[in-house]
Structure 1
């Protein structure tokens, strides 16, 4: 059902974007990057968190990590990640295929600024072997998302 709802979402709202189904799993950032020939940070991973009595989705660069302080500053509470069953029940997407498209009911979406580093990102598309290639601003437009600064600052690389 999930892959179908995402495919239908794009047919209805962005027929120029095709859902890409791969033979191999793209359920992790590393697998998705390999399957789609992009850098791991270009994968747009979707996190599902509880904020008080509501649920939100946070979409961020694949290698980015959620900054608990930034999250608390924005939402007034620490992030509480949902378990796999809750995620599937609320989004209709399995873990590894979670995305902000084709949801059964509206869920607030926040896109982290880490996505702005790329012309195209690759979020999942409702299945562990499906994704789309999309410009970050277009994803925000299609999902009604808000931009937010929620990722930890990148650690400086050590001198070689």
Structure 2
């Protein structure tokens, strides 16, 4: 269901031809890089966090990046607390392994991390554990309704 929502969402944005579905899992960064045929840093990993009001927000980072807790706390004025798999479905609208910044639930905010800018092309998931979308950084910006660029990864 989430994959179909993402396909429709990206179609409305003019990027439906960028979606790829695989016969193998792309749920982890390593699996996604193997499925796509790219390096792990070109995978746009979407991490889901609980906000202090009980909602959720997403940070899209380079596949080889990790969240820097100090930078995160400075940026968001709270400790980093990732969503459980159940919370991801409820608050974001996607299952873990397919979480992406497209066709998400209302109220869920999206941030793009500076780590992505090291790549010309990135591959975020497309709503399922066996899909990805091939986008330039500019196309990623145009295809997701993001709040801001942040610098919270190492």
Report if TM-score (shorter chain) is over 0.5.
yes
Query: Which residue does 1:142 correspond to in 2?
Result: 143
Counterpart Cα distance in 1 of 2:79 and 2:95: 24
Corresponding residue pairs, total:
152
Q: Larger radius of gyration, structure 1 or 2? A: 1
Query: Which residue does 1:112 correspond to in 2?
Result: 113
Structure 1 gaps, min length 5: 153-160
2:94 aligned with 1:87, yes or no?
no
Structure 2 gaps, min length 5: none
The alpha-carbon distance between structure 1 residues 91 and 111, as it changes in their structure 2 partners (threshold 3 A), is same
SS of residue matched to 2:33: helix
Counterpart Cα distance in 2 of 1:17 and 1:99: 17
Residues 7 and 19, structure 2, Cα contact 8 Å, conserved in 1: yes
Residues 40 and 63, structure 2, Cα contact 8 Å, conserved in 1: yes
2:13 aligned with 1:10, yes or no?
no
Counterpart Cα distance in 2 of 1:71 and 1:4: 32
Counterpart Cα distance in 2 of 1:123 and 1:15: 13
Deviation at 1:104, TM superposition (A): 3.1
Return structure 1 stretches of 4+ with deviation > 6 angstroms. none
RMSD of aligned Cα (Å): 1.2
Query: Which residue does 1:61 correspond to in 2?
Result: 62
Find the partner of 1:151 among 139, 146, 153: 153
